């Protein structure tokens, strides 16, 4: 079962570091047909994934809404056991169906369901955006483990590295004040470009995009 908009992630050993396939430059906009074709070509089939062993999962973008039966198919036929659901997408804001989507994953037998969030100053986001996401997760009674802060470069999204680090710190402070577990989704290049390779957040788990 191949599903565009889903990216395969592999848990490496027992550390909190995941590997995900990423299509560059897609942040903040829909896939065009050329990118959809590329995603289909590079998508790993379920039988190939299962052959690797280990724990596998999917991350679900804002515009991807798998049905309850699709979640069940991924769990039973694809050996997927964890999911990371997008909760906030820059200027688009909060994902309104985050509660339903996470519930469908849990009900299908997934053993871990997390949230990921892309926020940036150029998108009009502030620490209040993190508070809004937390409020949505609370009001919809979303059951999740970690909110992953998605740090990726894109045109007009960020400013200088010092200001970007301060912005990220404001998000971290907001989540921690609310008792939310957080981690970071990023790559070597993205982290360098956005933060100047700061080590300020080295204590948090890493979901490594490669």
The catalytic residue among 33, 65, 152, 190 is 152
3-state SS, one letter per residue, for the chain: CCCCCEEEEEECCCCCCEEECCCCCCCCCCCCHHHHHHHHHHCCCHHHHHHHCCCEEEEECCCCCCCHHHHHHHHHHHCEEEEEEEEEEHHHEECCCHHHHHHHHHHCCCCEEEEEEECCHHHCCCHHHHHHHHHHHHHCCCCCCCEEEECCCCCCCCCCHHHHHHHHHHHHHHHHHCCCCEEEEECHHHHHHHHCCCCCCCCCCEEEEC
The answer to whether residue 152 is catalytic is yes
Which residues are tagged catalytic?
Answer: 152
């Amino acid at each position: 079962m191949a599903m565009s908009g889903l990216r395969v992630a592999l848990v490496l050993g027992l550390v909190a570091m995941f590997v995900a396939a990423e299509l560059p430059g897609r942040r903040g906009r829909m896939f065009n047909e050329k990118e959809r074709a590329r995603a289909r070509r590079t998508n790993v089939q379920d039988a190939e994934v299962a052959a690797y062993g280990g724990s596998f999962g999917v991350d679900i973008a804002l515009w991807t809404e798998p049905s309850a039966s699709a979640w069940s198919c991924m769990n039973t036929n694809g050996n997927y056991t964890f999911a990371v659901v997008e909760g906030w997408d820059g200027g688009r804001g909060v994902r309104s169906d985050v509660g339903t989507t996470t519930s469908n994953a849990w009900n299908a037998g997934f053993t871990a369901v997390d949230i990921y969030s892309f926020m940036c100053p150029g998108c009009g986001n502030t620490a209040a955006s993190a508070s809004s996401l937390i409020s949505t997760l609370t009001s919809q009674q979303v059951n999740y483990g970690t909110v992953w802060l998605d740090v990726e470069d894109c045109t007009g999204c960020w400013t200088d590295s010092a200001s970007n680090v301060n912005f990220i710190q404001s998000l971290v402070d907001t989540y921690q004040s609310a008792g939310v577990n957080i981690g970071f989704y990023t790559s070597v290049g993205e982290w360098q470009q956005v933060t100047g390779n700061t080590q300020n957040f080295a204590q948090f788990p890493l979901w490594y995009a490669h």
